Structure 1
Amino acid sequence: MIRHNQLTPCFVKGVPRILEPGILYVSMEYGTVVHSCCCGCGLEVVTPLTPTDWRLTFDGEAISLWPSVGNWNLPCRSHYVIQGNRVVEAGQWDKAQIDAERRRDKAAKARYYSQIESPGAQKELKPKPTNGPAGTTANRETIWAKLLRWLS
Protein backbone atom coordinates (compact mmCIF):
# COMPACT_ATOMS: atom_id res chain seq x y z
CA MET A 1 0.00 0.00 0.00
CA ILE A 2 1.36 3.41 -0.97
CA ARG A 3 1.13 6.14 1.67
CA HIS A 4 2.98 8.88 -0.18
CA ASN A 5 1.22 9.52 -3.49
CA GLN A 6 3.19 12.65 -4.36
CA LEU A 7 6.92 13.41 -4.18
CA THR A 8 8.53 16.83 -4.19
CA PRO A 9 11.87 16.96 -6.00
CA CYS A 10 14.79 18.45 -4.10
CA PHE A 11 18.06 18.88 -5.99
CA VAL A 12 20.99 18.41 -3.62
CA LYS A 13 24.74 17.95 -3.84
CA GLY A 14 24.76 15.27 -1.14
CA VAL A 15 21.86 13.33 0.32
CA PRO A 16 20.93 14.16 3.93
CA ARG A 17 21.29 11.48 6.59
CA ILE A 18 17.67 11.78 7.62
CA LEU A 19 15.23 11.56 4.73
CA GLU A 20 12.02 13.51 4.87
CA PRO A 21 9.02 11.47 3.67
CA GLY A 22 7.56 12.73 0.41
CA ILE A 23 10.84 14.30 -0.77
CA LEU A 24 12.74 12.95 -3.78
CA TYR A 25 16.40 13.89 -3.28
CA VAL A 26 18.23 14.21 -6.60
CA SER A 27 22.03 14.44 -6.66
CA MET A 28 23.09 15.09 -10.24
CA GLU A 29 26.70 15.31 -9.09
CA TYR A 30 26.58 11.71 -7.87
CA GLY A 31 24.01 10.48 -10.39
CA THR A 32 21.67 9.23 -7.68
CA VAL A 33 18.07 9.68 -6.58
CA VAL A 34 17.18 8.82 -2.98
CA HIS A 35 13.87 8.86 -1.13
CA SER A 36 12.08 7.38 1.84
CA CYS A 37 10.03 4.39 0.65
CA CYS A 38 6.61 5.52 -0.55
CA CYS A 39 4.83 2.77 1.38
CA GLY A 40 5.61 4.68 4.57
CA CYS A 41 7.99 2.10 6.09
CA GLY A 42 10.64 4.85 6.27
CA LEU A 43 13.45 2.82 4.72
CA GLU A 44 15.86 4.44 2.28
CA VAL A 45 15.43 3.73 -1.43
CA VAL A 46 18.43 4.47 -3.68
CA THR A 47 18.04 4.58 -7.44
CA PRO A 48 21.33 5.12 -9.30
CA LEU A 49 21.10 7.00 -12.59
CA THR A 50 23.16 4.98 -15.05
CA PRO A 51 22.61 3.67 -18.57
CA THR A 52 21.69 0.28 -17.07
CA ASP A 53 19.70 1.40 -14.02
CA TRP A 54 17.18 4.26 -13.79
CA ARG A 55 16.54 7.26 -16.04
CA LEU A 56 15.36 10.56 -14.66
CA THR A 57 13.25 13.04 -16.60
CA PHE A 58 12.78 16.60 -15.32
CA ASP A 59 10.63 19.05 -17.26
CA GLY A 60 11.37 22.06 -15.07
CA GLU A 61 8.56 21.25 -12.65
CA ALA A 62 8.10 17.53 -12.28
CA ILE A 63 10.28 14.44 -12.16
CA SER A 64 9.68 11.00 -13.59
CA LEU A 65 11.85 7.97 -12.86
CA TRP A 66 11.91 4.90 -15.07
CA PRO A 67 11.76 1.92 -14.79
CA SER A 68 9.57 1.21 -11.80
CA VAL A 69 10.97 1.11 -8.28
CA GLY A 70 10.76 -2.44 -6.97
CA ASN A 71 11.90 -2.64 -3.35
CA TRP A 72 12.45 -6.39 -3.42
CA ASN A 73 15.17 -6.28 -0.73
CA LEU A 74 13.02 -4.33 1.74
CA PRO A 75 10.54 -6.03 4.08
CA CYS A 76 7.65 -4.06 2.52
CA ARG A 77 8.48 -5.24 -1.04
CA SER A 78 6.63 -2.19 -2.40
CA HIS A 79 6.57 -1.56 -6.15
CA TYR A 80 5.71 1.75 -7.82
CA VAL A 81 6.43 4.16 -10.64
CA ILE A 82 7.32 7.81 -10.14
CA GLN A 83 5.72 9.81 -12.93
CA GLY A 84 5.38 13.59 -12.93
CA ASN A 85 6.04 13.72 -9.14
CA ARG A 86 3.15 11.29 -8.62
CA VAL A 87 3.62 7.81 -7.18
CA VAL A 88 1.66 5.17 -9.05
CA GLU A 89 1.38 1.82 -7.31
CA ALA A 90 2.46 -1.10 -9.48
CA GLY A 91 1.51 -4.73 -9.05
CA GLN A 92 3.47 -7.08 -6.84
CA TRP A 93 5.98 -9.39 -8.50
CA ASP A 94 6.51 -13.02 -7.58
CA LYS A 95 9.93 -14.60 -7.04
CA ALA A 96 10.19 -15.79 -10.65
CA GLN A 97 9.58 -12.27 -12.00
CA ILE A 98 12.10 -10.74 -9.58
CA ASP A 99 14.72 -13.38 -10.43
CA ALA A 100 14.17 -12.84 -14.17
CA GLU A 101 14.58 -9.06 -13.76
CA ARG A 102 17.78 -9.53 -11.74
CA ARG A 103 19.19 -11.76 -14.52
CA ARG A 104 18.20 -9.22 -17.17
CA ASP A 105 19.78 -6.41 -15.13
CA LYS A 106 23.01 -8.36 -14.64
CA ALA A 107 23.22 -9.17 -18.36
CA ALA A 108 22.53 -5.53 -19.32
CA LYS A 109 25.32 -4.34 -17.02
CA ALA A 110 27.74 -6.95 -18.37
CA ARG A 111 26.95 -5.92 -21.98
CA TYR A 112 27.21 -2.20 -21.29
CA TYR A 113 30.38 -2.26 -19.20
CA SER A 114 32.16 -4.68 -21.54
CA GLN A 115 31.52 -2.14 -24.34
CA ILE A 116 32.95 0.81 -22.43
CA GLU A 117 36.06 -1.17 -21.51
CA SER A 118 36.94 -1.66 -25.18
CA PRO A 119 39.52 0.82 -26.58
CA GLY A 120 37.11 2.39 -29.08
CA ALA A 121 34.47 3.07 -26.45
CA GLN A 122 36.90 4.88 -24.15
CA LYS A 123 36.89 7.81 -26.58
CA GLU A 124 33.14 8.22 -26.05
CA LEU A 125 33.59 8.71 -22.30
CA LYS A 126 35.86 11.73 -22.70
CA PRO A 127 34.19 15.13 -22.58
CA LYS A 128 33.58 16.49 -26.05
CA PRO A 129 34.27 20.13 -26.85
CA THR A 130 31.19 22.29 -27.20
CA ASN A 131 30.71 25.83 -28.33
CA GLY A 132 30.90 28.06 -25.30
CA PRO A 133 30.20 31.76 -24.92
CA ALA A 134 31.32 33.98 -27.80
CA GLY A 135 32.23 31.00 -29.99
CA THR A 136 34.95 29.70 -27.69
CA THR A 137 35.42 25.99 -27.17
CA ALA A 138 34.62 24.74 -23.68
CA ASN A 139 34.90 21.20 -22.31
CA ARG A 140 31.83 19.92 -20.51
CA GLU A 141 32.07 16.71 -18.58
CA THR A 142 28.96 14.56 -18.89
CA ILE A 143 27.23 13.17 -15.82
CA TRP A 144 28.31 9.67 -16.89
CA ALA A 145 31.95 10.71 -17.11
CA LYS A 146 31.67 12.30 -13.65
CA LEU A 147 30.06 9.15 -12.27
CA LEU A 148 32.73 6.90 -13.81
CA ARG A 149 35.49 9.21 -12.51
CA TRP A 150 33.89 9.20 -9.06
CA LEU A 151 33.57 5.39 -9.05
CA SER A 152 37.24 4.93 -10.08
Structure 2
Amino acid sequence: MMRHKRLDHRFLEHIPERLEPGVLYISMGYATSAHSCCCGCGEEVVAPFTPTDWKMTFDGETVSLRPSIGNWSLKCRSHYVIDRGKVIKAGPWSDEQVEAERRRDRAAKTQFYGQAPKIEPSVQSAPVKAAPSFWRRIWNWISGRS
Protein backbone atom coordinates (compact mmCIF):
# COMPACT_ATOMS: atom_id res chain seq x y z
CA MET A 1 0.00 0.00 0.00
CA MET A 2 1.26 3.46 -0.89
CA ARG A 3 0.92 5.97 1.91
CA HIS A 4 1.70 8.90 -0.40
CA LYS A 5 -0.36 8.96 -3.56
CA ARG A 6 1.04 12.28 -4.76
CA LEU A 7 4.41 14.04 -4.61
CA ASP A 8 4.76 17.80 -4.73
CA HIS A 9 8.05 18.81 -6.34
CA ARG A 10 10.58 21.36 -5.18
CA PHE A 11 13.45 22.50 -7.37
CA LEU A 12 16.44 23.52 -5.26
CA GLU A 13 20.21 23.54 -5.40
CA HIS A 14 20.93 21.11 -2.55
CA ILE A 15 18.83 18.22 -1.28
CA PRO A 16 17.98 18.88 2.39
CA GLU A 17 19.22 16.53 5.11
CA ARG A 18 15.68 15.87 6.34
CA LEU A 19 13.19 14.93 3.65
CA GLU A 20 9.58 15.95 4.14
CA PRO A 21 7.22 13.07 3.25
CA GLY A 22 5.21 13.69 0.09
CA VAL A 23 7.84 15.97 -1.50
CA LEU A 24 10.09 15.17 -4.46
CA TYR A 25 13.25 17.28 -4.13
CA ILE A 26 15.03 17.99 -7.41
CA SER A 27 18.53 19.40 -7.80
CA MET A 28 19.29 20.15 -11.43
CA GLY A 29 22.80 21.29 -10.48
CA TYR A 30 23.54 17.81 -9.15
CA ALA A 31 21.24 16.07 -11.65
CA THR A 32 19.41 14.13 -8.98
CA SER A 33 16.22 13.82 -7.02
CA ALA A 34 15.38 12.50 -3.56
CA HIS A 35 12.22 11.74 -1.65
CA SER A 36 10.99 9.84 1.36
CA CYS A 37 9.77 6.40 0.24
CA CYS A 38 6.14 6.62 -0.82
CA CYS A 39 5.14 3.54 1.18
CA GLY A 40 5.65 5.57 4.35
CA CYS A 41 8.61 3.59 5.74
CA GLY A 42 10.62 6.84 5.95
CA GLU A 43 13.64 5.59 3.98
CA GLU A 44 15.40 8.06 1.66
CA VAL A 45 15.13 7.27 -2.05
CA VAL A 46 17.65 8.88 -4.43
CA ALA A 47 17.16 8.85 -8.20
CA PRO A 48 20.10 10.29 -10.17
CA PHE A 49 19.45 11.68 -13.65
CA THR A 50 21.97 10.09 -16.00
CA PRO A 51 21.89 8.51 -19.43
CA THR A 52 21.72 5.08 -17.72
CA ASP A 53 19.54 5.86 -14.69
CA TRP A 54 16.38 7.97 -14.32
CA LYS A 55 14.94 10.59 -16.63
CA MET A 56 12.98 13.51 -15.21
CA THR A 57 10.26 15.30 -17.16
CA PHE A 58 8.85 18.65 -16.06
CA ASP A 59 5.80 19.78 -18.03
CA GLY A 60 5.61 23.22 -16.43
CA GLU A 61 3.30 22.01 -13.67
CA THR A 62 4.19 18.45 -12.70
CA VAL A 63 7.17 16.09 -12.63
CA SER A 64 7.50 12.52 -13.86
CA LEU A 65 10.37 10.07 -13.33
CA ARG A 66 11.16 7.10 -15.56
CA PRO A 67 11.75 4.25 -15.12
CA SER A 68 9.86 3.13 -12.03
CA ILE A 69 11.26 3.38 -8.52
CA GLY A 70 12.08 -0.11 -7.27
CA ASN A 71 13.28 -0.05 -3.68
CA TRP A 72 14.68 -3.59 -3.76
CA SER A 73 17.41 -2.97 -1.18
CA LEU A 74 14.95 -1.50 1.34
CA LYS A 75 12.99 -3.62 3.78
CA CYS A 76 9.68 -2.42 2.27
CA ARG A 77 10.68 -3.42 -1.33
CA SER A 78 8.10 -0.92 -2.59
CA HIS A 79 7.76 -0.36 -6.33
CA TYR A 80 6.01 2.60 -7.93
CA VAL A 81 5.96 5.05 -10.80
CA ILE A 82 5.95 8.83 -10.40
CA ASP A 83 3.80 10.14 -13.23
CA ARG A 84 2.87 13.85 -13.35
CA GLY A 85 3.18 14.05 -9.57
CA LYS A 86 0.99 10.99 -8.97
CA VAL A 87 2.41 7.91 -7.27
CA ILE A 88 1.19 4.78 -9.03
CA LYS A 89 1.80 1.47 -7.29
CA ALA A 90 3.54 -1.11 -9.45
CA GLY A 91 3.65 -4.83 -8.89
CA PRO A 92 6.28 -6.59 -6.79
CA TRP A 93 9.31 -8.19 -8.42
CA SER A 94 10.83 -11.56 -7.65
CA ASP A 95 14.47 -11.83 -6.55
CA GLU A 96 15.24 -13.18 -10.04
CA GLN A 97 13.68 -10.13 -11.72
CA VAL A 98 15.60 -7.79 -9.43
CA GLU A 99 18.90 -9.55 -10.14
CA ALA A 100 18.22 -9.52 -13.90
CA GLU A 101 17.59 -5.75 -13.74
CA ARG A 102 20.78 -5.21 -11.75
CA ARG A 103 22.74 -7.12 -14.42
CA ARG A 104 21.09 -5.06 -17.17
CA ASP A 105 21.91 -1.86 -15.29
CA ARG A 106 25.57 -2.81 -14.85
CA ALA A 107 25.83 -3.69 -18.54
CA ALA A 108 24.23 -0.38 -19.57
CA LYS A 109 26.67 1.56 -17.39
CA THR A 110 29.65 -0.38 -18.74
CA GLN A 111 28.50 0.20 -22.31
CA PHE A 112 27.83 3.92 -21.81
CA TYR A 113 30.76 4.87 -19.60
CA GLY A 114 33.20 2.40 -21.10
CA GLN A 115 35.66 0.16 -19.40
CA ALA A 116 39.41 0.44 -19.10
CA PRO A 117 41.18 -1.84 -21.60
CA LYS A 118 42.63 -4.99 -20.11
CA ILE A 119 46.43 -4.91 -19.91
CA GLU A 120 48.48 -8.05 -19.71
CA PRO A 121 50.08 -8.32 -16.25
CA SER A 122 53.55 -8.78 -17.76
CA VAL A 123 53.35 -5.43 -19.57
CA GLN A 124 51.61 -3.54 -16.81
CA SER A 125 53.62 -0.85 -15.06
CA ALA A 126 52.52 1.41 -12.23
CA PRO A 127 48.75 1.74 -12.17
CA VAL A 128 47.48 4.84 -13.91
CA LYS A 129 44.11 6.16 -12.87
CA ALA A 130 42.30 8.39 -15.34
CA ALA A 131 40.32 11.32 -14.02
CA PRO A 132 36.67 10.32 -13.72
CA SER A 133 34.17 11.82 -16.16
CA PHE A 134 31.63 14.40 -15.06
CA TRP A 135 28.87 11.75 -14.81
CA ARG A 136 31.15 9.36 -12.92
CA ARG A 137 31.97 12.12 -10.38
CA ILE A 138 28.23 12.81 -9.93
CA TRP A 139 27.51 9.08 -9.55
CA ASN A 140 30.32 8.72 -7.01
CA TRP A 141 29.01 11.72 -5.08
CA ILE A 142 25.45 10.36 -5.06
CA SER A 143 26.51 6.87 -4.01
CA GLY A 144 28.85 8.20 -1.29
CA ARG A 145 32.05 7.03 -2.97
CA SER A 146 33.62 10.48 -3.26
Q: Distance in 2 between matches of 1:148 and 1:101?
A: 20
In the alignment, structure 2 segments of 5+ residues that lack a partner are 117-132, 141-145
TM-score normalised by structure 1 residue count: 0.77
TM-score normalised by structure 2 residue count: 0.80
1:31–1:147 CA contact under 8 A, matched in 2: no
Query: 1 or 2, which has the higher helix percentage?
Result: 1
What do you get for the CA RMSD once the two structures are aligned? 2.0
C-alpha deviation, 1:21, in angstroms: 0.3
Q: Distance in 2 between matches of 1:12 and 1:79?
A: 25
Hey, what does 2:127 align to over in structure 1?
Answer: none
Q: Distance in 2 between matches of 1:108 and 1:146?
A: 17
Sequence identity (%): 57
Are residues 1:20 and 2:20 paired?
A: yes
Hey, what does 2:45 align to over in structure 1?
Answer: 45
Q: Which runs of 4+ in 1 moved over 3 A?
A: 145-152
In the alignment, structure 1 segments of 5+ residues that lack a partner are 118-144
Q: Distance in 1 between matches of 2:27 and 2:135?
A: 11
Hey, what does 2:103 align to over in structure 1?
Answer: 103
Hey, what does 1:55 align to over in structure 2?
Answer: 55
The alignment covers a number of residue pairs equal to: 125
1:75-122 CA distances to partner (integer Å, 9 max, x unpaired)?
A: 00000000000000000000000000000000000000018x8xxxxx
